[in-house]
Amino acid sequence: MYDYSVPCLMGVESLAADELSFRGFRDVRAENGRVLFSGEIADGARANVLLRCGERVLLRLAAFEARSFEELFQGTRAAPWEELIGSGDAFPVKGFALRSQLHSVPDCQSIVKKAVVERLKSVYGGAWLEETGPRRQIQFSLLDDHCELYLDLSGAPLYKRGYKIEQTEASLRETLAASLVKIIRWRGHEPFYDPFCGSGTIAIEAAMAALRIAPGTRRAFDAERWSDAWAAAFAEARAAARAEEQHGKLPLFASDLDPAAAELTRANARRAGVEDCLEIRAGDALREPWRERSGVLLSNPPYGVRLLDARQAEDIYRRLGAALRGSAMKVYLLSGDERFEEAFGRKADKRRKLYNGMLKCNFYQYFKGREDGRR
């Protein structure tokens, strides 16, 4: 039995915990910035293949207090590294230190590396470890003098699904887009619009969720190369996930003012296997007949800190608010501009603080259209 940790973007920990619990994972508990669970090799593989909201899957080997380099060395050396690292495997080290007496990350990296080397040499013998085999990325965290040591199963972060080879400048992270879809509980039945689609992340993640297409079926993971047991676990997890996939046309519409962005969305949707499941076109969100439509609008309109200056962005919010006035649609908009509601012309029914990478955003949720547009 192993202990696993799933780092998450701040604000979506409960969503990742819900995913794991729904899928039958054991001992699931959410903490700030991560979700923990327990399981076997098969569970680590399944989590990588299935998770939509988590950033990566880590296997925890040790947890201990470390207020000195000696405590860090001895705690690291005591972990059973030989159970997961072979005599020829590569094992680079990275990590972070926060509010700890051991605050120099390079020094901590060196101590952890040395301790692992000493442990493996004591088991495998010899004076040198070649490190020419598959990568076992070691991660350490030092938080308030508490150290945790992990092996990274994922390799590339889980938001790298494999379908976005190119992206627009302000592309939304896939794990955040999937979280937005999960928050609004869209199941593929009512019309869904993203009129600022960019590279198509929101629409593609919505299609994949509605059609039960697991995000990890079209990419590779580091742990697949660790051993036959890990390779078999990932193969089984992918096969089971693909057996659940559905296919069919969805009432899902993605558009962007820039024709090149619409074509990029089409290419990304093709790689994700959902191109024929949604409608993609170039179009001006500010000129759409929203008053004649029903369903949900979920989008990430431009905001000044990223693509446009603040005045241009606020003009878009103002015109979008006017265009939606009188519509019965449910509207969900992600923005990093704290003045969004003022420009949009209406207070949100609910706000939720989220992060797109390191950028703090608010998710503005309007559950019911209003005829007069008053706050």
Same-domain pairing of 295 and 206: yes
Which of these three, 134, 157, 182, is where a domain ends? Answer: 134
From residue 357, alpha-carbon distances to 81, 139, 166, 175, 200 in Å are 31, 19, 18, 10, 18
- CATH number for position 353: 3.40.50.150
Question: Is 152 within the bounds of a domain?
Answer: no
Same domain, residue pair 178 and 323: yes
Same domain, 187 and 285: yes
Phi-psi region of 10 (alpha: psi -120 to 50; beta: other; left: phi over 0): beta
Do 189 and 118 belong together in one domain? no
Same domain, 198 and 322: yes
> 169 in a domain, yes or no?
no
Residues 127 and 255 in one domain: no
* Contacts (Cβ under 8 Å, ≥6 apart) of 6: 16, 20, 34, 35, 36, 37, 47, 51, 54, 55, 56, 57, 58
pLDDT in tens, the chain (375 residues): 999 999 999 999 999 999 999 999 999 999 999 999 999 999 999 999 999 999 999 999 999 999 999 999 999 999 999 999 999 999 999 999 999 999 999 999 999 999 999 999 999 987 778 899 999 999 999 999 999 999 999 999 999 999 998 766 667 999 999 999 999 999 999 999 999 999 999 999 999 999 999 999 999 999 999 999 999 999 999 999 999 999 999 999 999 999 999 999 999 999 999 999 999 999 999 999 999 999 999 999 986 554 557 788 899 999 999 999 999 999 999 998 889 999 999 999 999 999 988 889 999 999 976 544 443
Q: Measuring CA to CA, how many Å separate 279 from each of 138, 249, 254, 266, 267?
A: 43, 9, 6, 9, 13
Domain that holds residue 96: 66-134
> Is 14 among the domain residues?
no
- Report if residue 6 sits inside a domain: no
Could you tell me where the beta strands, DSSP code E, fall in the chain?
2-7, 26-31, 34-39, 58-65, 93-98, 138-143, 146-152, 192-194, 252-256, 279-282, 296-299, 330-335, 350-356, 359-366
Number of domains in the chain: 2
The answer as to whether 321 is a domain residue is yes
**In angstroms, rounded to a whole number, what is the distance separating the alpha carbons of residues 303 and 193?**
19
Let me know whether 192 and 99 are in one domain. no
In a domain, 10, yes or no: no
Q: What's the confidence (pLDDT) of residue 303?
A: 63
Which pLDDT score is estimated for 37?
Answer: 98
Q: Are residues 78 and 181 in the same domain?
A: no
Specify whether 109 is located in the same domain as 186.
Answer: no
Distance CA 223, CA 181 (A): 29
pLDDT digits (tens, 9 = 90+) for 80-123: 999 999 999 999 999 999 999 999 999 999 999 999 999 999 99
Check whether residue 128 and residue 178 sit in a common domain.
no
CA distance 116 to 106: 16
**Distance from C-alpha of 362 to C-alpha of 337, rounded to nearest angstrom:** 8
The predicted structure's pLDDT at residue 170:
63
Within-domain flag for 125: yes
Give the pLDDT of residue 308.
55
Residue after which a domain boundary falls, among 78, 103, 134:
134
What's the pLDDT tens digit per position in 270-320? 999 999 999 999 999 999 999 999 999 999 998 655 455 778 889 999 999
Residue 374 lies in a domain: no
Picking from 111, 134, 157, the residue at the C-terminal end of a domain is 134
The pLDDT of residue 312 is: 86
- The C-alpha atoms of residue 210 and residue 181 are separated, in whole angstroms, by 10
